[in-house]
Structure 1
């Protein structure tokens, strides 16, 4: 059983290419975003399970003695596989793994995750046969509700930490090592539990978000099948949140209606987006083995073409057009990521770009009322950190530990 502090992190995600086309059977490329969610799990002796979400000012606590075990046989039935790279069918058996319910109060189960907003009042602390007294603190660099996989990052962190605490998977961190990752088999188990949390939050998720948070790098998704790109370079980007709310359901329906109304026009657009995803996948593979400046020029062309296609599909927005104009004025290339209609966009940063130009672009975007982060894509997946490795980051960034 847990005897020391565990510190876990996992990344968010962005769609690089293929949004909306993926709904119609085409390929989408999802990449790990190096804005991360962090979780600290600490043993206690006060007989309580505490959950602290300092980003949003939420703290809850439950008496361990009031928690009751529930059956989790649904995990054995195979009705809800956890999509992931290869999607292997031979997940280890979880027959003795239990979930827990607070009576009265919110359900607690490993993989019954709440999203960072806790709007479901769910969290997931139950891989153990007997729940120990724990203090769980979660904070995130990801803005919630922006289509960046914040709920999946939460679910993956919690699944990884609790499975490790309950010794269902080993702690991968060795002495004198600051950061480490789990074996492929253990990642499959983490992903399976995290997918259950995403199901609670979203009902019928694709499994892409939790897979990206688990494995990191870049994933290829098509018609329910997920596979990892073998070699993925870490690309620097600006991530911009226009803060314009949008309805993913309405945007998806709009593309479908346009396809029905103009099939001979829209179907070639979707096919072209699919070709953009394929070309990007090819270029990323080349960059990982033999990077060259001209490859960034190709990626910029693909970004521009995809953005025009997405506008033609009807999922653009004036705020996204403004984002593209501002970055183009600084010689940069941007596209929406996710559902569109507002939301977030990404801007590729070439390695030879001078930092003062990046700062000028960020200031211009901030002047539009947007939030902007300089970060990278292709980041590593869920990771365990030494207790001291992120202390300065945490204290400086959030001041919560």
Structure 2
């Protein structure tokens, strides 16, 4: 291992259109958020592996020799098709994390150790490293925080193992890997997502890897070649919800009223396709007022569809009411039933209008971020480019 230090980041994700309908074979659009997870990997001579996760107050280390013993008898860890159940069981026993555990701390540790051991399994020896991760993304909010984490882990560990190149030159502040290397990062990140979620769709880690806007349909994920960067207000209502319960509720409603609900799902798919066409036009010819008018109408239509599906919530109604009073258009993003919503911000909107909306929403106990969608995917950074920002934060822990 020749890498002394590397610094990477990956974006979170939101669903622009197609929630729930995508489960039933319709088109959805997933977008990257310009809220990122950052990772610094340092090689050390401590003969230990350390993980620092200050967002969730987790600081752990293990002896290399103890971890090395876990690999005895494990085969084909680089298969990247299915998890190695033998290694996963050993890691659970080693860490004391039970099979039914789903808490954020346990899952983050388990994913890290699984990817680390798998990546370095065929090396002459395990690498002595310290990995520190800090994120702008809240956990458990449906914004792809675990996927951004796994994408960062995969990119950094593959770089440290020298499985992928180091594309950053002395003149660059940030760089991205080749298409083939990105595909490898994405496949490893999916392994981490499987550790955490069991059977993920692969959308979240794909967004974290490629960034921009992705079209998801019947299991096929296609990045849009050209996308505009759009400003949004992201709001977390902080209302807890169960994605599983909400998905089952939509399924029950479809089974009960098939002639009513199937056209709704098809209409949601049409919204996604119309939005995709509009975004492509904006990227090709430049955005216009009419483009924003269309995007706003599509947001309103889709939000009504989601309410028809039964995944709305009074907190999301509040978000839509508060923002619409200021001429802004909002919809839920993700599973619904609370959780998060997005509000499109036109270029000409006055900052005071946005701030007024944020203040009122905070009064309801919501949390808001003014950010953008269409951000770049996973990137390798020069430490000097960010030393006044994230490195300063990481060094404080």
Q: Normalization by structure 1: what TM-score?
A: 0.90
Tell me the residue number matched to 2:62. 62
Whether the 8 Å contact between 1:241 and 1:372 is mirrored in structure 2 is yes
Corresponding residue to 2:226 among 227, 231, 236: 231
| Structure 2 residue 105 is the aligned partner of structure 1 residue 117 | yes
| Structure 2 residue 274 is the aligned partner of structure 1 residue 279 | yes
| Structure 2 residue 353 is the aligned partner of structure 1 residue 362 | no
Whether the 8 Å contact between 1:66 and 1:103 is mirrored in structure 2 is no
Whether the 8 Å contact between 1:49 and 1:64 is mirrored in structure 2 is yes
Tell me the residue number matched to 1:105. 94
Tell me the residue number matched to 1:288. 283
Question: Residue 315 of structure 1 aligns to a residue in which SS?
Answer: coil
| Structure 2 residue 175 is the aligned partner of structure 1 residue 180 | yes
Whether the 8 Å contact between 1:54 and 1:400 is mirrored in structure 2 is no
Q: CA deviation at 1:389?
A: 1.2
2:108 and 2:159 mapped to 1: Cα distance?
25
Which structure features the higher share of helix residues?
A: 2
Q: CA RMSD in A?
A: 2.2
Q: Normalization by structure 2: what TM-score?
A: 0.91
| Structure 2 residue 311 is the aligned partner of structure 1 residue 322 | no
Question: Residue 383 of structure 2 aligns to a residue in which SS?
Answer: coil
Whether the 8 Å contact between 1:100 and 1:107 is mirrored in structure 2 is no
TM-superposition CA deviations, 1:68-113 (whole Å, max 9, x none): 2253426438568xxxxxxxxxxxxxxxxx99966962399xxxxx
Whether the 8 Å contact between 2:132 and 2:394 is mirrored in structure 1 is no
Instruction: Indicate how the Cα distance of structure 1 residues 272 and 358 shifts in structure 2: closer, same or farther if over 3 A, else same.
Output: same
1:79 and 1:44 mapped to 2: Cα distance?
31
Tell me the residue number matched to 1:205. 200
Structure-to-structure mapping, 1:147-186, within 5 angstroms: 147-186=142-181
Instruction: Indicate how the Cα distance of structure 1 residues 192 and 346 shifts in structure 2: closer, same or farther if over 3 A, else same.
Output: same
1:390 and 1:72 mapped to 2: Cα distance?
39
Tell me the residue number matched to 2:372. 376
Tell me the residue number matched to 2:79. 76
Q: CA deviation at 1:356?
A: 1.2
Whether the 8 Å contact between 2:150 and 2:192 is mirrored in structure 1 is yes
Whether the 8 Å contact between 1:115 and 1:150 is mirrored in structure 2 is no
Q: CA deviation at 1:394?
A: 1.7
Q: CA deviation at 1:3?
A: 3.8
Corresponding residue to 1:245 among 230, 240, 245: 240
Question: Residue 388 of structure 1 aligns to a residue in which SS?
Answer: helix
Whether the 8 Å contact between 1:67 and 1:103 is mirrored in structure 2 is no
| Structure 2 residue 251 is the aligned partner of structure 1 residue 256 | yes
Question: Residue 105 of structure 1 aligns to a residue in which SS?
Answer: helix
Question: Residue 369 of structure 1 aligns to a residue in which SS?
Answer: coil
1:301 and 1:103 mapped to 2: Cα distance?
49
Whether the 8 Å contact between 1:67 and 1:100 is mirrored in structure 2 is no
1:103 and 1:275 mapped to 2: Cα distance?
44
2:335 and 2:79 mapped to 1: Cα distance?
33
1:74 and 1:340 mapped to 2: Cα distance?
37
Instruction: Indicate how the Cα distance of structure 1 residues 284 and 103 shifts in structure 2: closer, same or farther if over 3 A, else same.
Output: closer
| Structure 2 residue 384 is the aligned partner of structure 1 residue 388 | yes
Tell me the residue number matched to 1:311. 307
Uncovered stretches (5+) of structure 1, i.e. residues with no partner: 81-97, 109-113
1:315 and 1:398 mapped to 2: Cα distance?
38
Instruction: Indicate how the Cα distance of structure 1 residues 162 and 116 shifts in structure 2: closer, same or farther if over 3 A, else same.
Output: farther
2:146 and 2:359 mapped to 1: Cα distance?
29
2:282 and 2:46 mapped to 1: Cα distance?
52
Q: CA deviation at 1:184?
A: 0.2
Whether the 8 Å contact between 2:383 and 2:391 is mirrored in structure 1 is no
1:7 and 1:186 mapped to 2: Cα distance?
17
Q: How many residues align?
A: 379
1:217 and 1:366 mapped to 2: Cα distance?
29
Tell me the residue number matched to 1:25. 25
| Structure 2 residue 7 is the aligned partner of structure 1 residue 7 | yes
Structure-to-structure mapping, 1:339-354, within 5 angstroms: 339-354=335-350
Whether the 8 Å contact between 1:394 and 1:400 is mirrored in structure 2 is no
Uncovered stretches (5+) of structure 2, i.e. residues with no partner: none
Further displaced range: 291-300 or 18-27: 291-300
Tell me the residue number matched to 2:334. 338
Whether the 8 Å contact between 2:58 and 2:105 is mirrored in structure 1 is no
Whether the 8 Å contact between 1:8 and 1:382 is mirrored in structure 2 is yes
